[in-house]
Structure 1
Amino acid sequence: METSAHDDLPTPAQQALDALAENAEDQAALDVLAHSDVLVPVPDDAVGREGADATSVALPVLEQPGGEPVVPVFTTEGEMAELLPFVSHYRLIPLGALASQWPDEDLSLAIDGNSTHALTLTSQGVRTLLAR
């Protein structure tokens, strides 16, 4: 059974998520997370439609059953493929930059949604914890 060396090693962002699962106030982990790039899924019908404005990104919003809308982002392509296998395009964005422009409405952020180190933040949490 061959596996490449990086298959089982968590990324720094995933290590930060694991640390935050144990201690939500871990400032070092929050800093790592804020400075990590995340994959923001781009629906196929939106590819090429965003035009020349590379400074804005259309946030994909999923409606949770009985919950508030959530924006899914991922730390790796593998995590994204597991939850959203039908999405083939994404933008790589620093999480802190995404957080600093977070909309005012009640929109949660789900990082690696269904993995063992998933983290979901409220809109307030995104702005206060990750906007750097």
Structure 2
Amino acid sequence: METPINRHTATPARQALDALVDNHEDTAALDTLAGSEVLVPVPDDIGEEEATDPDAVALPVLEQPGGEPMVPVFTSEPAMAELLPFVGRYRLVPLGALAAQWPADDLSLTIDAGSAHPLTLTSEGVRTLLARP
């Protein structure tokens, strides 16, 4: 039987997420995540010009149970396809760069939502933990 862990490509970012399950303060894992590229789904209502703008990233905002806004990003195509099988476009974005420009509102970030070891961070957590120098 195939487990969720076995279905995902063991990227360095995925391995870092797994390491953070055991130690939430693992600075090496956080550094790995911050330096990794993640797949950011492009919302359907975004035109091609805006979707490929190198100076801006359109964030796909989903509503969590309870109504809180969340942006899902993924460490691999299989991880993304598991939760969002109909996503046709995505961008590869360095997670640290995304975090450095994260909005100051209550928008959280979830890495590999739907996996065995997702990581959800508050807006403040995104900026402080992943926006590495």
TM-score (norm 1): 0.89
Aligned residues: 127
Match of 2:3 in 1: none
Q: How far, CA to CA, are the matches of 1:18 and 1:91 in structure 2?
A: 23
**RMSD of aligned residue pairs (Cα, Å):** 1.8
Q: Quick check: 1:17–1:119 contact (8 Å CA) kept in 2? A: yes
User: For residues 8 and 81 of structure 1, do their structure 2 counterparts lie closer, same or farther at Cα, with a shift above 3 Å needed?
Assistant: closer
Where structure 1 has 5 or more consecutive residues not aligned to the other structure, the ranges are 1-5
Match of 1:126 in 2: 126
Deviates more, 1:61-70 or 1:99-108: 61-70
Letter in 2 for 1:119: L
Match of 1:33 in 2: 33
Match of 1:89 in 2: 89
Q: Quick check: 1:47–1:89 contact (8 Å CA) kept in 2? A: no
Letter in 2 for 1:28: A
Fraction of identical pairs, as percent: 70
Larger helix fraction of residues: 2
Structure 1 position 8, deviation (Å): 6.1
Match of 2:112 in 1: 112
Match of 2:11 in 1: 11
Where structure 2 has 5 or more consecutive residues not aligned to the other structure, the ranges are 1-5
Structure 1 position 55, deviation (Å): 1.2
- Give the 4+ runs in structure 1 shifted more than 4 A: 6-9
